[in-house]
A = this chain, B = another copy of it.
Amino acid sequence: MTEATTGISAFDRDTAITPRGEGVYDADLSADWTIGHAVNGGYLLALLGRALGDALPHPDPFTITAHYLTASLPGPAAVRTSAVRTGRTLSTGTASLVQTGEDGREVERIRVLASYGDLAALPGDVRTSAEPPPIPPYERCLGARDGMDPAAIPPITHQVDLRLDPATVGWAVGAPSGRGEMRGWFGLADGRDHDPLSLLLAVDALPPTAFELGLSGWVPTVELTVHVRHRPAPGPVRVSITTRNLSGGFLEEDAEVWDSRDRLVAQSRQLARAALA
A contact set with B: CB distance below 8 Å: 62-63, 65, 67, 69-70, 84-85, 87, 90, 92, 94, 108, 111-113, 115, 119, 122-130, 179-180, 213, 222-223, 225, 227, 229-230, 243-250, 252, 263-264, 267, 269, 271, 276
Contact = CB atoms under 8 A, between A and B. Distances in A.
Nearest to A179: B129
List the 4 closest pairs (A to B, CB-CB), nearest first: A122-B248, A130-B244, A113-B113, A63-B223
Give how many copies assemble into the complex. 2
A22 B222 CA distance: 26
A224 to B, nearest CB: 10
Among A63, A213, A276, the most chain B Cβ lie within 10 Å of the Cβ of A63
11 contacts: A62-B250, A65-B65, A65-B223, A69-B84, A69-B85, A69-B87, A115-B222, A126-B247, A129-B179, A129-B245, A130-B245
A127 B92 contact: no
A227 B271 contact: yes
B113 A276 contact: no
A230 B249 CA distance: 11
A62 B272 CA distance: 11
Contacts of A271: 62-63, 227
A185 to B, nearest CB: 20
A246 B127 contact: yes
Contacts of A244: 128-130, 264
A123 B248 contact: yes
Contact of A267 (B63, B122, B123, B252): B252
A70 B123 CA distance: 23
Contacts of A252: 227, 267
Contacts of A128: 244-247
Contacts of A123: 248-249, 276
A205 B152 CA distance: 50
